[in-house]
Amino acid sequence: MRMVIQRVQHAKVTVDGAITGQIGQGFLVLLGVGMEDTKEIAEKMADKMIRMRIFADENDKTNLSLQDVGGQLLVVSQFTLYADCRKGNRPSFIHAGKPDQANALYEYFMEYCRRTIPVVEGGVFGADMKVELCNDGPFTIVLDSAEIIK
C-alpha cells in the first residue's frame, strides 16, 4: 500500500462536477493498493497515518496528530502510485491491485479510519476525479507499506 499524505487547510474531490468528498483541516490522502495488500496492512498503514505528528503544537513544533487537532480525512484512490517507470516512457501498472481487490481495500481503509476519525470523506473509485486542495506548509509525506511493515 502506498500513500501520499498532504496536510491541508481544506480539500475536495469532484466527479462530473459534483462534490463527492470535502474536508476542512486534516489530511488529503492519495491511496494506492498493491497486489499483495491485505486488510491487516491497511489497518497498520491507517494507524501509522492517524498517529503521525505533523501538526504544530503551541510552540510551533510538529508534535500533534490528526486526532489531536480534530482533523478530517479525505481519501482518494490512486492506482498510479504503483506506476513502474523503469523501462520506456509509458508507465506500467502491473503491480497495482486488481480493481475489485483495490476497491474493497480502499473502502475498508476508510471504514477502519472512521473508527477513530469522525469525518472521513472519499472520492469515487475508478472515476475521473478532480482534486482541489490547499496544502498546509506545504507538508507532504509518502508512506509505502513495503518500507514500514516488516
Segment 94-119, tens digit of pLDDT = 899 999 999 999 999 999 999 999 99
Whole-angstrom distance, CA of residue 23 vs CA of residue 21 = 7
- Would you list the domain boundaries of the chain? 2-144
pTM: 0.93
Predicted pLDDT at 150: 66
In order, the DSSP letters of 13-34 are: EEETTEEEEEESSEEEEEEE-B
Out of 14, 27, 78, 109, the active site residue is 78
Annotated active-site residue 62? The verdict is no
Annotated active-site residue 80? The verdict is yes
Query: Which H or E run includes 135?
Result: strand 129-144
Out of 27, 55, 79, 109, the active site residue is 79
Q: Which portions of the chain are predicted below pLDDT 70?
A: 150
Predicted pLDDT at 94: 87
**Residues forming a β-bridge with 26:** 8, 72
Predicted pLDDT at 62: 94
Out of 6, 80, 125, 139, the active site residue is 80
Which residue from 142, 22, 34 is spatially nearest to 97, judged by alpha carbons?
34
2-144 has which fold? Answer: D-tyrosyl-trna(Tyr) Deacylase; Chain: A; (3.50.80)
Annotated active-site residue 78? The verdict is yes
